[in-house]
Structure formats: structure tokens, C-alpha cells
Amino acid sequence: HSAHRTSGRHDYSRLRGLTGAVSFCSGLRGNWHHLGSRSLAKPSLTVRRPFNLSHGTTTLGFIFQGGVIAAADTRASAGGLVACPFVHKISPIHSHLVVTSSGSGADCMLWERILRREIRLYQLRHSRCLSICGTAKLLSFMLHPFKDDSAMTQTASSNGGPKLIYVCSDGARLQGDIFSVGSGSPYAYGILDGSLRWSLSNEEAISLAREAVFRATHRDAYSGNHVDLFHITAQGWTNTLSAVGMFDTV
């Protein structure tokens, strides 16, 4: 531990072994501790699903003059089955950072827990929070060995200026002002592209994000149930949850 405190750098080699072990723990039964790094080089070739389940979601994020808005539906689907009508696809990491996820629900939940733990450990070691760009880089590094997985995550923050960063499961990082991810994203973009502008008030931005997710749930079979929304500012984040049915008059 002393090496971590004096070097000021992440020990990413330790992370690589840890994430590989966790992934195999969730996919295999029995004793997996003997597996070496060579066995974990291509986990997708070892851990295979017996069959593919179609799944989808609608998540979005955008920047405006009042901070950052992140919104998502709450439906978890497995093929034609609505596995759960109320799933949190937006997870607060700390007071100024939230993560939205799209892809395999189990994978996304796992990576969010690992990311939250690593950021907390960084804060304890260095007495400061990891920057948003540094967080995106850390997440990208963790996801890269598992680039055949379907998990995708975007991060949003407004600490030290609003930032919105999209991190793909192949390790790619893109910073922008608007992103939408998931099977319902084309429908959400159709609403956002026509109405999004920098000068939106807080109420207008929240209403726009809700409507974009709402419209996507009516066109995408894998999205639906509720609209989960986070508004992130320099003071922190606030959360609201709305039932899709309440937007029938929009």
C-alpha cells in the first residue's frame, strides 16, 4: 500500500487481474483462483452464453447552461420478457458524478460497483476525488480486456465545469455535449436534435429529457415503464422518477 501512496499513480496491473477474476467468478462454478492471466486474456472465448437474449434500453445525457441532465427508462428485458419493470440504469458514483449504463444488466452493475470502489480507494489514498476525465480513462482501461461484452457506459458530471463522456465497451472514450445510448436512442435523438439548445432553463431541460425517453418507450419494445432523471450541478445531483403514463398528454 505504501507504493500506492508515494507514487501518485494507479497500479493498473492490479486492476487487470482483479477485473478478470471477478468476471470469471460470475461466469464459472468451482475453484477459479488458479486461473492465470493468460487464461483471462480472452474471456469471451471461455465464458459463453447458452443462447442470446435480446435486450435494449434508452439512456441519454446532455449539457446545457444549468448543468448536465441524465435520463433513462427503467425496463430490464430478456428477449420478449420484461424481466423487471424497475431497474436503476443511472447510478450515482459520488456527489458530482453519475453513470448511465446500457447493455447486459449484470455486466453494467458489476462495473459500476468496481468503479465506485476504485474511486473511493483513490480518494482515501490521495485525499481528493479522481477527475472526471481520469474516471473515464480508468473505466475505459477496465472495460478494454472485455471488449466483446455488450456493456456500454456514459458518465456525466458538473464538478469543475459540466462534462459528458461516453465510454464504450471496447475502451473508446468520447467527450461531447449530447449522447444517447441503447436500442431506443434513435428515437430519443429525434426529439433532442430538434429542441436542445444551450439556453434551456432547468424546467425546459428536464421536460425535454423526459419527453425524449417517453417517445422512445413508445417506439422501442425494450424500453418502458418509468423515466429516471438526474440533474447534476456544481452543488450536486438531484433525482426524480416519473411514470411513463403521466406523459400521455405530451
pLDDT at residue 245, rounded to an integer: 58
Q: Are residues 4 and 79 in the same domain?
A: no
pLDDT at residue 200, rounded to an integer: 97
Question: How would DSSP label each residue in the chain?
Answer: -HHHHHH-S--HHHHHHHHHHHHHHHH--S--TT--TTTTS-HHHHS--SS-------EEEEEETTEEEEEEE--EEETTEEEES----EEEEETTEEEEEES-HHHHHHHHHHHHHHHHHHHHHHSSPPPHHHHHHHHHHHHGGGTTS--EEEEEE-TTS-EEEEE-TTS-EEE-SEEEESTTHHHHHHHHHHH--TT--HHHHHHHHHHHHHHHHHH-TT--SEEEEEEEETTEEEEEEEEGGGGTT-
CA distance linking residue 23 with residue 40, whole number of Å: 9
Q: Are residues 32 and 117 in the same domain?
A: no
Q: Are residues 138 and 236 in the same domain?
A: yes
- Segments of the chain scoring below 50 in pLDDT: 1-41, 43-44, 46, 249-250
For the chain, how many structural domains are there in total? 2
Active site residue 217: no
Sign of CA dihedral 86, 90, 91, 92: negative
25 lies in which domain range? 1-48
Of 98, 234, 175, 216, nearest in space to 208 by CA: 216
Grid cell 482501461 is found at 141
CA distance linking residue 195 with residue 248, whole number of Å: 19
- Among 31, 48, 65, give the residue marking a domain's end: 48
pLDDT at residue 110, rounded to an integer: 86
Residue of 6, 19, 46, 57 marked active site? 57
Which pLDDT tens digit goes with each residue over 196-211? 999 999 999 999 999 9
pLDDT at residue 49, rounded to an integer: 59
Q: Are residues 197 and 213 in the same domain?
A: yes
Q: Are residues 80 and 188 in the same domain?
A: yes
Q: Are residues 74 and 133 in the same domain?
A: yes
Q: Are residues 92 and 216 in the same domain?
A: yes
Q: Are residues 187 and 64 in the same domain?
A: yes
Residues forming beta bridges with residue 61, ordered by sequence position: 70, 179
Q: Are residues 36 and 59 in the same domain?
A: no
CA distance linking residue 118 with residue 45, whole number of Å: 27
Q: Are residues 224 and 121 in the same domain?
A: yes
Q: Residue 213 is part of a domain; what is its CATH number? A: 3.60.20.10
Q: Are residues 103 and 176 in the same domain?
A: yes
